[in-house]
Structure 1
Amino acid sequence: LGYNNITCQGIEILADALNNNTTLEMLNLFNNNISDKGVYYLTKILSLNNSNLKILFLGENQITDTGAQYLSEMLKKNQTLIQLGLSTNKISDQGVIVLANTLAHYNTTLEELHLWGNKLISDTCIDSLADMLVYNRTLNELVLFDCNISNTSKKRLQEVVQPKKYFRLFL
């Protein structure tokens, strides 16, 4: 469903269809017109654990830190999602800090998080990302290239994941 100019109204209808859907495992909503309100509708349903959705791509939309907060709350409850793509949105350090805290302390299913191309992500969230990488046992891929992270912070993240043999960090 990528590249379809889906708005909040469309997402609300789609979210209702996801409730109790046990066959759909991947939902690609890349490059639509989804705002935080649309994310709210999706996360409300995905928090119920009535679906089998494993992969959710929300890249190139209008998602901000508010949407990241909704996603964070959903990730505390959801038991099926293993891959979350949030590339090229409007998520800043504050949104990343909230997501990282959830992944460090509450979520045990997510394996891949893609945040690349979010230009508002900077060194401010590196401590939270480092903690997430230390405490989370299921995440095995983090994609952060094309963000505003310094070489010093990139090196720090590389050092944190170095003991994790199969971890993929893209900076």
Structure 2
Amino acid sequence: MPIVLFPKKDKPQLVRGFSPKVVRLNVRINEDVEEASLANISRSGLLALSNDISTNSHVTKLDFRHVCFGPEEAFILAKGLSTNAVLLDLNLQHNNLSDAGVGAVAEALIQQGVLEVLTLDANGIGDTGAIALAEFVSSSRTLKELRLFDNHILKDGGAAIGSAVEKCPTLRHLDLGLNEIGDAGAVALAKALCSYSKVSKLSVRANGITSIGGKAIAKALRKNCRLRSLDIRVNRLRDDAVKHLFEALLLNTHLQELDCSGNNIRDDAMEFVAEVILQNKFITKLSFEDNYFTDEAAEVFLKLLQKAEHLSMTEFGIHNNYISEIKLQQIDLFMRTHARELQKKKRESKRQRSQSVAQGDDTREESKISAGRQSSGSLSRSTSRISARGSREASKV
């Protein structure tokens, strides 16, 4: 299969040159191409492409997902990346780079110095590879998004990534889902969030985090860190961790989305959640799916949702608990109705702002016209006085 290139967002066109069957010498990526997605690339094709990447000045995005790259291919690619000066987005998900390959890519990216998005999902990365990536993250002043979902990163690698986040001023989105960073990784990430980190979206789902890590993250939320979206589903959080998390949300004004699905949360946590529903004005999406809430909790939640005066929430996920179908339908109906009402208010507010702007423009225009008239009148009176003075002086002569 040949390379599929996407020139400036137009329909995909087939460009031959690095395909296994048609590799030719002196074939280069067309200068109109800004994004390239590659499939079934050969060793000779990769060598040619790596050489091209090293001096390329127009391709900003490369997609190598599902191309069966291993460590050897990573070393070849890294050679070209190290001298590249324009690549912003590199996708290597679902390969088998392992620690050795990721280490080579990380070292090359330190030299490259401008990458903004790096995707390494499902690459068999362990702690050694994570530590190598942490060095890249620490040195980067451009990285905005790092995806490491579904690897084998344990507590040491998670702690290294967490410490690196604290040193990267540009990082906004970090996905460490489906690893095993545990509480050590969660604590390191929470420390970074408490400092000057600007991360706004964090996923640590399915990482074996217990109440210790949950309390550390709660501490960061209490300090009103910049997180807007937090995914902590499928961990080992219990009611005591939920208590700290939701007490923090009474003070936090940034977080908008929180996913606590698939933990060990029971009805005892209901009172902490209740306060947030009534008082927090910023949460828009909240999920407790796959937990242990019963009809008793569902009844309380419904009454609180109906009672909350400043409720901004549009999604409240509570399916797959021990809740009857009728209760789930009642909550779903309320949330759908409330979401429509919020959307209606938003449109009305936007319309009113538009009218205010238009009225302000009209007022300013009228002021300009009035000022112009006054200026014209003043000019006419000045001209009349000058003419009269001239006439008197002429009569004296």
Pairwise mapping of residues 22-171 of structure 1 onto structure 2 (< 5 A)?
Answer: 22-48=85-111, 50-104=112-166, 106-118=167-179, 120-150=180-210, 153-154=213-214, 156-161=216-221, 163-164=224-225, 167-171=228-232
Q: CA deviation at 1:84?
A: 0.8
The structure where helix makes up a greater share of residues is 2
Structure 1 residues 166 and 96: alpha-carbon distance in aligned structure 2, compared to 1, 3 A threshold: closer
Cα separation, 2, equivalents of 1:146 and 1:140: 19
Structure 1 residues 128 and 165: alpha-carbon distance in aligned structure 2, compared to 1, 3 A threshold: closer
More displaced stretch, 35-44 vs 148-157:
148-157
Q: CA deviation at 1:82?
A: 1.2
Cα separation, 1, equivalents of 2:114 and 2:141: 9
Structure 1 residues 78-116: Cα deviation after superposition (integer angstroms, max 9, x where no partner)? 222211111110101111111111222x22122211100
- Any idea what SS the aligned residue of 1:147 has? coil
Counterpart amino acid of residue 168 in structure 1: S
Cα separation, 2, equivalents of 1:126 and 1:165: 16
Cα separation, 1, equivalents of 2:158 and 2:226: 24
Cα separation, 2, equivalents of 1:145 and 1:28: 21
Q: Is the 8 A contact 1:20 1:51 kept in 2?
A: no
Q: Is the 8 A contact 1:64 1:89 kept in 2?
A: yes
Unaligned runs of 5+ in 2: 1-63, 233-397
Cα separation, 1, equivalents of 2:68 and 2:214: 34
Structure 1 stretches of at least 4 aligned residues deviating more than 6 Å after TM superposition? none
Q: CA RMSD in A?
A: 1.9
- Tell me which structure has the larger Cα radius of gyration: 2
Q: Is the 8 A contact 1:54 1:80 kept in 2?
A: yes
Cα separation, 1, equivalents of 2:172 and 2:226: 15
**Higher RCO (C-alpha 8 Å, min separation 6):** 1
Q: CA deviation at 1:55?
A: 0.6
Q: CA deviation at 1:51?
A: 4.7
TM-score (norm 1): 0.88
- Any idea what SS the aligned residue of 1:47 has? helix
2:77 matches 1:14: yes
Q: Is the 8 A contact 2:187 2:213 kept in 1?
A: no
TM-score (norm 2): 0.40
Q: Is the 8 A contact 1:18 1:51 kept in 2?
A: no
Q: Is the 8 A contact 1:142 1:168 kept in 2?
A: yes
Q: CA deviation at 1:147?
A: 1.7
- Any idea what SS the aligned residue of 1:84 has? strand
Structure 1 residues 49-97: Cα deviation after superposition (integer angstroms, max 9, x where no partner)? x353211100101110101110111122222221111111010111111
Cα separation, 2, equivalents of 1:166 and 1:91: 23
Q: Is the 8 A contact 2:98 2:125 kept in 1?
A: yes
Q: CA deviation at 1:126?
A: 2.9
Aligned positions, number: 168
Counterpart amino acid of residue 111 in structure 1: R
Unaligned runs of 5+ in 1: none
Q: Is the 8 A contact 2:155 2:185 kept in 1?
A: yes
Q: Is the 8 A contact 1:5 1:32 kept in 2?
A: yes
